[in-house]
A and B are shown apart, each in its own frame.
Chain A
């Protein structure tokens, strides 16, 4: 889902950059008021964790393997704003160091994965959690939100590509959402299991407003 340079037209990537830069500024301010001088070490080390977690491949049905996107996982453990920052930091590193995603498309990539995937995913998690109570509620809502976040982020990607005239929406949207509905199952299972582990070992580390 890392859009390279050249796939988006200026009328898409320029607004996406502006929204993402502004949104990131807002998140930093929000996190700064809670963590104060703890922001830097905590966000740095935890971003390194999400980066490492994305390197670990897990088996998907049919002999293929996928890796974690980690948006909802980060949001459930760190809260929406800190989660969004760590995902944005990772996307930027992947863009600059690994050329995974383009420089002009970085704004759109951050918008899809940090804002739609992580913050959007967090609110999906929060809504479902308010319906199902207790630890089961946390696990069920983390699983559903993880699946939703992957599908929503990929739909965002398809919409941006169609706005740029790169691919028609009526084909791109079902195709992207369809593929990611399958990928999302793995994301959902692994997110649920990691959250369940943390709930057992350090329940205080699961984000609670």
Chain B
């Protein structure tokens, strides 16, 4: 079966794809921290980040439609915050509405909060999408390992990545079998069937894990995995870090003007 979930655009070739994975991780964190710590009112900084990230998106050759779809995950949260805006009482009133006996006031303070979280979350998602969509997950994990993240956790991640496709395949097979035998799915009465599907999946996954462990053990696995060191820092990578640092500084400085 086809799995479009992970690594969809990681095979493309672009200046962004060629950057050292470790550099990408550090730069992504730098940019997100820069965005998070920007003053809510400094619009110029946000525009700077917007332009910079848009340039990165274009350079990376990842389809804009994909990036837009990915960034839609922030919408539910933004709506949730938007609902609370009328209840933020402090500050200057921007407008008042009354629905029968219910009187709601919208303050500038509330609108600033909404705009702040909307812009920051959107820019951060944009940043994460550019950097992680241009990176294969296995390479990303290796980069985390080189950056001295806990080895045990990285191994769990790499195992999960390896078996996600196997488990999802199994789930799809069981689901297909279920769908071809039941009509009008989505009814409440099907909940029990779905629960049994999950139960089967759990038992099978657990048994698979046990046989994987035995297979590994019989091949000499002792709890650690050794991989070859194959990352090399190029001049272009260092240049990229300098550019990112320069940009975060410019965005920061521009708010002071």
Contact across chains for B203 and A28 when beta carbons are under 8 A apart: no
Contact across chains for A104 and B33 when beta carbons are under 8 A apart: yes
Of the listed residues A49, A53, A197, the one surrounded by the most CB atoms of chain B closer than 10 A to its CB is: A49
The complex places the Cα of A143 from the Cα of B175 at a distance, in Å, of 24
Stretch at the interface among A58-66, A116-124, A144-152: A58-66
| B77 sits at the interface (CB 8 A) | yes
The complex places the Cα of A25 from the Cα of B160 at a distance, in Å, of 18
| B228 sits at the interface (CB 8 A) | no
Measured between C-beta atoms, what is the minimum distance from B94 to chain A in Å?
17
The complex places the Cα of A61 from the Cα of B191 at a distance, in Å, of 11
Question: Contacting A96 at CB < 8 Å: which of B140, B167, B205?
Answer: B140
The complex places the Cα of A92 from the Cα of B87 at a distance, in Å, of 33
Contact across chains for B120 and A6 when beta carbons are under 8 A apart: yes
| B58 sits at the interface (CB 8 A) | no
Chain A residue total in the interface (Cβ 8 A):
69
| B248 sits at the interface (CB 8 A) | no
Interface of B is mostly: helix
Interface of A is mostly: helix
Contact across chains for B132 and A193 when beta carbons are under 8 A apart: no
The complex places the Cα of A112 from the Cα of B223 at a distance, in Å, of 30
Contact across chains for A193 and B195 when beta carbons are under 8 A apart: yes
Contact across chains for A198 and B116 when beta carbons are under 8 A apart: no
| B134 sits at the interface (CB 8 A) | no
Closest residue of chain B to A104 (Cβ to Cβ) is B36
Query: With A10-B36, A45-B209, A89-B160 as given contacts, are A40 and B202 in contact (CB-CB < 8 Å)?
Result: no
Stretch at the interface among B95-103, B123-131, B233-241: B123-131
Question: Contacting B84 at CB < 8 Å: which of A45, A53, A168?
Answer: A168
| B18 sits at the interface (CB 8 A) | no
Measured between C-beta atoms, what is the minimum distance from A114 to chain B in Å?
13
Query: With A6-B36, A65-B186, A98-B73 as given contacts, are A53 and B195 in contact (CB-CB < 8 Å)?
Result: no
Question: Contacting B159 at CB < 8 Å: which of A44, A98, A193?
Answer: A44
Measured between C-beta atoms, what is the minimum distance from A21 to chain B in Å?
9
Measured between C-beta atoms, what is the minimum distance from A186 to chain B in Å?
8
Query: With A44-B163, A52-B171 as given contacts, are A190 and B191 in contact (CB-CB < 8 Å)?
Result: yes
| B2 sits at the interface (CB 8 A) | no
Measured between C-beta atoms, what is the minimum distance from B207 to chain A in Å?
8
Contact across chains for A5 and B35 when beta carbons are under 8 A apart: yes
Measured between C-beta atoms, what is the minimum distance from A27 to chain B in Å?
10
Question: Contacting B6 at CB < 8 Å: which of A37, A97, A165?
Answer: A97
Query: With A51-B167, A193-B196 as given contacts, are A77 and B202 in contact (CB-CB < 8 Å)?
Result: yes
Measured between C-beta atoms, what is the minimum distance from B75 to chain A in Å?
10
Measured between C-beta atoms, what is the minimum distance from B257 to chain A in Å?
23
Q: Which of A34-79 contact B (CB under 8 A)?
A: 36-49, 51-53, 55-56, 58-59, 61, 63, 65, 68, 77
Query: With A42-B213, A48-B167 as given contacts, are A165 and B203 in contact (CB-CB < 8 Å)?
Result: no
For this complex, 23 residue pairs linking A to B, each with C-beta atoms less than 8 Å apart, are A5-B32, A5-B125, A7-B121, A45-B206, A46-B205, A48-B163, A49-B201, A49-B202, A53-B201, A56-B171, A56-B194, A93-B157, A97-B132, A161-B81, A166-B81, A166-B113, A166-B117, A168-B87, A175-B80, A176-B80, A197-B198, A197-B199, A201-B203
Known: A51-B164, A56-B197, A103-B128. 20 other contacts (CB 8 A): A2-B77, A4-B77, A4-B121, A5-B35, A40-B155, A41-B159, A42-B206, A42-B209, A43-B159, A44-B155, A47-B159, A49-B202, A51-B167, A52-B168, A56-B194, A58-B191, A97-B137, A167-B81, A193-B195, A197-B196
| B residues apposed to A, CB below 8 Å | 5-6, 28-29, 32-33, 35-37, 70-71, 73-74, 77, 80-81, 83-84, 87-88, 113, 116-117, 119-121, 123-125, 128-129, 132, 137, 140, 150, 152-153, 155-164, 166-168, 170-171, 175, 186-188, 190-192, 194-203, 205-206, 208-210, 212-213, 216-217, 221-223
